[in-house]
Amino acid sequence: MELHTALQGQEPVHLWNKAGIIVIDKPRGPSSHEVAAWVGKMLGCQVGHSGTLDPAVSGVLLIMLGNAVRLAPLLLQHDKEYICLMRLHGDVDRERIGKLAEEFTGRLYQRPPRKSAVKRNLRIREIQELEILDVDGRLVLFRARCEAGTYIRSLCHHMGLALGVGGHMQELRRTRSGTFTEESMYTLYDVQDAAVAARDGDRSALEAMVVSVDAAVPELPIVVVRDAAIDALCHGASLAGVGVVSCMEFGKGQTVAVLSEKKEFVCLGQTLVPSVSFKPGDTGLVIAPTAVFMAPGTYPRGWTKSDKVYPPKSDKKKAKNKTGGIQGPRPAGRQERRSDRKPFGKPGLKPDDRGQKKRYH
């Protein structure tokens, strides 16, 4: 690939240092890990990808920049949409294929293919929609909207078995991942052009590509907090009800998005109590942060240190030198034997008989 050859001798330049997401149009050929590594080398930042695509598969691939990699557990759960070209091993009429698509809609048993990155354990995945777009001889073009973790290759194999002729996946393209679609994708060449322009001082193209972190979790309940509570959250402290300005309805143990009053994304958190059990301004802990995206110090500290007085350090610790040793001569060994210690051996035995085995004549 020409782009890979151009990146080999290029020194990394740190062009991006904030959390964000770039939607890449992954080409056929390289793996998802290689594509993520190339984007990281272009922008000079930490990267990760969500939803692995096989080398022969193209389409939507989410590249997480900076602290956005902490969103991976959520992004991996997003529903996916694919356009697939299946080749049947025998002739089947279109009406029969259409009825089969209805049968394969819903919850299905699946076992990952032999060439996969996970264990081949039997599991259940849901196909929300399976639409036959076109049939040309033995080639069947369909669109599948499915749960995360669904293997379309296995779906094609099972559909071929159900038709009695066999079948396999010819070509596959991912068209949607969560709320990200093909309309928001950029090619690797687009990212490279934006990186070159950013080195020359024009960052507009690069900033237009990067999506904010809160756009990746639009379905989560939102909790707006006071400015005085933000820095404590950035340091990992749990949020109390007095720091909440407003919130949507949520249950206990649910993941929520915590925003500032300026609609800035602060962190993700797990609720400790349901929203119906407290009002904004009440006391008591309500949310524990799980993934913080705002840097500490962005907002002024609204919490104070404890007034507790700790006892002074012992003289022995003060006497330690810089190397960690103790100043002065080393303490001498034991000068006299302890008188309160019991004598060795069983009572009534002479010192010479101690430790000797009893002999029989």
Q: What is the pLDDT of residues 203-259, one digit of tens each?
A: 999 999 999 888 877 788 999 999 999 999 999 999 999 999 999 999 999 999 999
Q: Are 90 and 27 in a shared domain?
A: no
Does 4 score more than 60 pLDDT? no
Q: Check whether residue 125 and residue 247 sit in a common domain.
A: no
Domain limits at 124? 80-177
The pLDDT of residue 269 is above 70: yes
Q: Answer yes or no: do 71 and 189 share one domain.
A: yes
- Asked if 78 and 145 touch (Cβ cutoff 8 Å), the reply is no
Q: Is the dihedral of CA 118, 122, 124, 127 positive or negative?
A: positive
Mean pLDDT of 4-14: 58
Residue 348 within a domain:
no
Catalytic status, residue 134: no
Residue 300 within a domain: no
**Choice among 25, 54, 93, 200 that is catalytic:** 54
Residues 61 and 150 in one domain: no
The total number of structural domains that make up the chain: 3
According to the 3-state scheme, what is the secondary structure of 58-83?
EEEEEEEEHHHHHHHHHHCCCCEEEE
Mark whether 144 and 193 lie in a shared domain. no
pTM: 0.75
What amino acid occupies position 350? K
Judgement on whether residues 187 and 48 belong to the same structural domain of the protein: yes
> How high does pLDDT run on average in the chain?
84
* Lowest mean pLDDT segment, chosen from 44-48, 274-278, 331-335: 331-335
Over residues 24-41, mean pLDDT: 94
pLDDT digits (tens, 9 = 90+) for 291-326: 898 888 889 887 666 666 666 766 555 555 555 554
Q: Which of 78-82, 144-148, 353-357 has the lowest mean pLDDT?
A: 353-357
Segment 125-145 mean pLDDT: 95
pLDDT band at 138 (very low <50, low <70, confident <90, very high): very high
Q: Is the pLDDT of residue 120 over 90?
A: no
CA 357/CA 256 separation, integer angstroms: 74
pLDDT computed for residue 11 by the predictor: 56
Residue 203 inside a domain? The answer is yes
